[in-house]
Amino acid sequence: MSWYQRLSARWDDSSRIALTNGDLTVTYGDLTERVHRACGLLQQAGLEPGDVVAIQLPRSIEILDLVLGATALGMPVVPMNDRYTDAEVSYQLADSFAKLAFLSDGTAPELPPGCRVVRASALPRALADAPARKPTGTVPDDATAIIGYTSGTTGRPKGALITHANLTAIVSGLHGAWRWSREDRLLHALPLFHIHGLFVAQFGALWANARTDWVGRFDAVDTLRAIDRLGSTLFMGVPTFYQRFIELPDALRFDLSRVRLFTCGSAPLPAHVLDGFERRFGHRVLERYGMTEVGIVLSNPYEGARRAGAVGLPLPGVEATLADPVTDAPTADGDVGELRIGGPTVFRGYLNNPEKTAGSFDANGRVRTGDLATRDADGYFRIVGRLRDLVIAGGLNVYPSEVEAVLLDHPDVAEVACVGVIDVDLGERLVADVVWKPGATLAMEALDAWARQRLAPYKTPRAWRTVSSLPRNAMGKVDKTLIRAEWEMPRVRGGLAADVSAIARGNLALALESEGLRLEAETAFEGARAVFDRNVGARYFVAEVAGAYAGQCMVTTEWSDWRARQIWWLQSVYVHPAYRKRGVFKALYKAVVDGARTSGASGVRLYVDRSNTRAIDVYRRQQMNGDHYMLFETMFAEPEKAVDR
Ligand code: AMP
């Protein structure tokens, strides 16, 4: 049965209000009519079950009409961020073989063959003119309902295939766990292109026969005023929302007494924000954990302790375990392991990508989430970081989130992000970006001392920076890729120690180029070659070309065997975005291969990724899910046994 059939079968009173958006009020009867018109429009366009419909529209009720209409007809939907660039839209349209794209007026992507476009400005008319067609025919439960391109802050987006059965499992599970009822009034401030705003919030409300009031793009004051004015009972947010709420001047007062539940997810909710919100507004936020590929799977309890820093317990039907990311062995309670998820909410795989699909499941058929977590003795899970954010400083594991939590406890710190950057001696070293609270006068030395009193020496940041804000994506996740790139750039610009001067010369040339100074491509390749010439005696090379933001090319050498966890970062080379062309990669590859050959290396792989994925990722994901783009590979011979320096 299609997701929509199950959903609409629950709508027992067409006069009930389903949605409001400013002056617009839509009853469940109106919504049914709107969905039928969307079905008419899709059918008139000649689409058939299985044809992919892409939606990249500003937040509007038409998104809902189209998502429900398309899924009712068995047409998978690709929901897209309306702030995507043309290149991002082009990629997702091509990757999903979209047949029909509903696009914002300003977007001008390349269209795959046979893909037609309906513009946002023409859509209301097109829907109004379309015949209302009640969807008929059956859609299998395991058919794809949504292709959710993962919003991760590293790697090229992959299309996660979310089935009709997954949607039912996600929404019905939360319905019980969070005690949804038809009396609920949800205040909706989240984007509709992501599972949080679309499935958890919007579909949750529709499943309950409840009412949703939309507010425009998030604004802290407008949102709380709307909750007060509309008598909302439910609100769902990302941590940034709650952070903004607690920053509001005390003089502002809101009546939030009718709210029965505030939830938070998509990124970690700092304990001081949870506590601060409770102190100020009298509500303890319920934090939960989810991921496009697995749905919402862990939640603090509705009744019972909502623990700061914890994402709670598995929802009914969800299997959640912790395992060693490399060996797959189960992790003991209290130890850090990779969170693995099984159960009815788990996606079917990645579109057109059996290799990545296979890599994303472990031997027990559970999804490798890439999130590192611990479990308290009574079963509560705590996310301690991303596998890819793990910093290995001098061979010791440092979890940036643990350090961030300590720094956030400082009364003058508003926000903080710790990342690992390349370090010639340690491999990696931890650095911190700090946003001070307004009026804070603290010197960085004092924060450093605070950290040293509370953290083992190897966990304390080696360098600090004051910043005015942290870069975040639409779901409030901090973009550590960008922070890392910003930290590493000046190092290269500033030159390097004498023992790596050969590398520095090449890097410096490229850094100049990345600042807009003209340099011949050949000079850039010489830089890459210099890196490899320097590394005589290395057994194995990984060259990684990356950088959505910085246009970064990272060349890394591994000194030990693939299975050892030691990766030595020798240097990174920055390439101007203009070099991100195939011909350039080829030439770079050639330089790398030549360098490797002369140094007696056993092989070369060149990875190209859209963002600044580091070699540690390449190494780990090599073992886990092959989440990279390997353009070229040359193996001279199998890598020999580990050679430690
Ligand atoms: P997405 O697929 O865009 O929903 O992103 C999923 C990722 O968001 C997860 O793998 C986690 O890294 C992160 N995430 C979601 N909820 C939480 C949470 N409550 N605490 C920490 N990280 C979270």
SS3 566: coil
Query: Are the C-beta atoms of residues 301 and 324 closer than 8 Å to each other?
Result: no
Residue 305, pLDDT > 80, answer yes
**DSSP type of residue 579:** G
Q: What is the pLDDT of residue 254?
A: 96
Residue 133 has pLDDT above 90, yes or no: yes
The pick from 238, 289, 374 for probing ligand 1's pocket by mutation, whose C-beta has the most ligand atoms within 8 angstroms, reads: 289
Our answer on whether the CB atom of 368 is closer than 6 Å to any ligand 1 atom is no
Minimal-distance CA residue to ligand 1 atom 6: 291
Q: What average pLDDT does the segment 408-412 reach?
A: 91
User: For 504-510, what is the mean pLDDT?
Assistant: 42
- Ligand 1: does its nearest atom lie under 6 Å from the Cβ of 388? no
Q: Does domain 491-635 have CATH number 1.10.1740.10?
A: no
- Measured from the Cα of 311, ligand 1's closest atom is 19
- Judge if the beta carbon of residue 405 lies within 6 A of ligand 1: no
Q: Which of 49-53, 69-73, 202-206, 612-616 has the lowest mean pLDDT?
A: 612-616
Q: Which residue of 291, 300, 313, 399 sits with most ligand 1 atoms within 8 Å of its CB, as the best mutation to test the pocket?
A: 291
Ligand 1 within 6 A of CB of 287: yes
Q: What is the CA angle 259-263-266, rounded to 5? A: 155
- 259: nearest Cα among 247, 245, 273: 245
DSSP for 123-149, please give it.
Answer: HHHHHHHSPP----S---TTSEEEEEE
Rounded distance from Cα 538 to ligand 1 centre (Å): 37
**How far does the centroid of ligand 1 lie from the alpha carbon of residue 416, in Å?**
18
The answer on pLDDT for 384 being more than 90 is: no
Give me ligand 1 centre to Cα 478, in Å.
Answer: 11
Q: Ligand 1 within 6 A of 373 CB?
A: no
Residue 567 has pLDDT above 70, yes or no: no
**Are 542 and 589 within 8 A, CB to CB?**
no
Q: Is the CB of 271 under 6 A from ligand 1?
A: no
439 C-alpha to center of ligand 1: Å?
32
Ligand 1 centroid vs 289 CA: distance in angstroms? 6
| Least confident window among 113-117, 199-203, 595-599 | 595-599
Domain 1-139: give its CATH architecture: 3-Layer(aba) Sandwich (3.40)
pLDDT of residue 354: 85
- CB of 239 sitting under 6 A from ligand 1: no
- Residue 459 one-letter amino acid: K
For residue 304, pLDDT over 90 is answered with yes
Range scoring the smallest mean pLDDT among 155-159, 233-237, 402-406? 155-159
CB of 386 closer than 6 angstroms to any ligand 1 atom:
yes
Task: Judge if the beta carbon of residue 151 lies within 6 A of ligand 1.
Answer: yes
Q: Provide the pairing of β-strand 381-386 with 295-299.
A: unpaired
Residue closest via CA to ligand 1's atom 20 equals 268
How far is ligand 1, taken at its centre, from the CA of residue 385, in Å?
10
Cβ of 153 below 6 Å from ligand 1: no
With a cut of 60, say whether residue 405 has pLDDT above it: yes
* DSSP character at residue 29: H
Nearest CA to ligand 1 atom 7: 291
> Following DSSP, what letter does each residue of 316-377 receive, concatenated?
TT-EEEEE-TTT-PBPPTTS-EEEEEESTT----BTT-HHHHHHHB-TTS-EEEEEEEEE-T
Does ligand 1 lie within 6 Å of residue 404's CB atom? no
Distance, CA of 318 to CA of 296 (rounded, Å):
9
pLDDT confidence of residue 543: 37
Mean residue pLDDT of the chain comes to 78
Question: For residue 265, how far is its CA from the centre of ligand 1 (angstroms)?
Answer: 7
Can you read off the two tokens belonging to residue 371? 């999130």
Q: How far is the CA of 120 from the centre of ligand 1 (A)?
A: 30
Looking at ligand 1, which residue's alpha carbon is closest to its atom 1?
A: 291
Question: Residue 423 — very low, low, confident or very high, per pLDDT cuts 50/70/90?
Answer: low
Mean pLDDT, range 110-135, rounded to an integer: 96
Q: Separation of 377 CA from ligand 1 center, angstroms? A: 23
Lowest mean pLDDT among 237-241, 451-455, 508-512, 545-549: 545-549
Residue 436 in 3-state DSSP?
strand
491 lines ligand 1 (CB under 6 A): no
pLDDT of residue 72: 98
Helix H, strand E, coil C: the string for 145-196 is EEEEECCCCCCCCCEEEEEHHHHHHHHHHHHHHCCCCCCCEEEECCCCCCHH
Residue 389 — very low, low, confident or very high, per pLDDT cuts 50/70/90? confident
Place of tokens 């539940």: 261
Domain ranges of the chain: 1-139, 391-487, 491-635
**Ligand 1: residue whose CA is nearest its atom 12:** 371
- The protein residue with its alpha carbon nearest to ligand 1, atom 3, reads 151
Distance 330 CA to ligand 1 centre (A): 22
Is it the case that residue 349 has pLDDT exceeding 60? yes
CA 292 to ligand 1: nearest atom: 2
**Tell me: the pLDDT tens digits for 519-546?**
344 444 454 444 444 432 232 233 333 3
According to the model, what pLDDT value does residue 390 have? 81
389 lines ligand 1 (CB under 6 A): no
Q: Regarding predicted confidence, which is higher, 629 or 106?
A: 106
CA distances from 91 to 144, 151, 301 (A): 20, 14, 39
Ligand 1 closest atom vs CA 150: 2
First and final C-alpha spacing in the chain: 60
Share of the chain above pLDDT 90, in %: 56
The per-residue pLDDT for 329 is 87
Mind listing the pLDDT tens digit for each residue in 269-282? 989 899 999 999 99
Residue whose CA is at the smallest distance from ligand 1 atom 23:
267
Looking at residue 488, what is its pLDDT? 60
pLDDT for res 224: 97
Q: Give the distance (Å) from ligand 1 centre to CA of residue 387.
A: 12
Quick one: pLDDT at residue 592? 52
pTM to 2 decimal places = 0.74
Establish whether residue 265 lines the binding site of ligand 1, counting it when its CB lies within 6 angstroms of any ligand atom. Answer: yes
pLDDT value of position 408: 92
Tell me which residue of 454, 596, 588 sits closest to 523, measured CA to CA: 588
Q: Return the ligand 1 atom nearest residue 475 CA.
A: 3
Q: 372 vs 333, which has greater pLDDT?
A: 372
Centroid of ligand 1 to alpha carbon of 303 (angstroms)? 23
> Which atom of ligand 1 lies nearest, measured to the CA of 383?
21
Among residues of the chain, what percentage have pLDDT more than 70?
73
pLDDT of residue 60: 93
Q: Is the CB of 311 under 6 A from ligand 1?
A: yes
Cβ of 291 less than 6 Å from ligand 1: yes
How many helices, marked H, and strands, marked E, lie in the chain?
19, 29
295 ligand 1 Cβ < 6 A: no
> Mean pLDDT lowest for which of 52-61, 255-264, 423-432?
423-432
* Ligand 1 pocket member 401 (CB < 6 A): no
Q: What is the CATH superfamily name and number for domain 391-487?
A: ANL, C-terminal domain (3.30.300.30)
pLDDT at 590 over 50: yes
Q: Is the pLDDT of residue 210 over 70?
A: yes
pLDDT at 591: 54
Measured from the CB, is residue 369 less than 6 Å from ligand 1?
Answer: yes
Q: Ligand 1: distance of its center to the CA of 22 in Å? A: 31
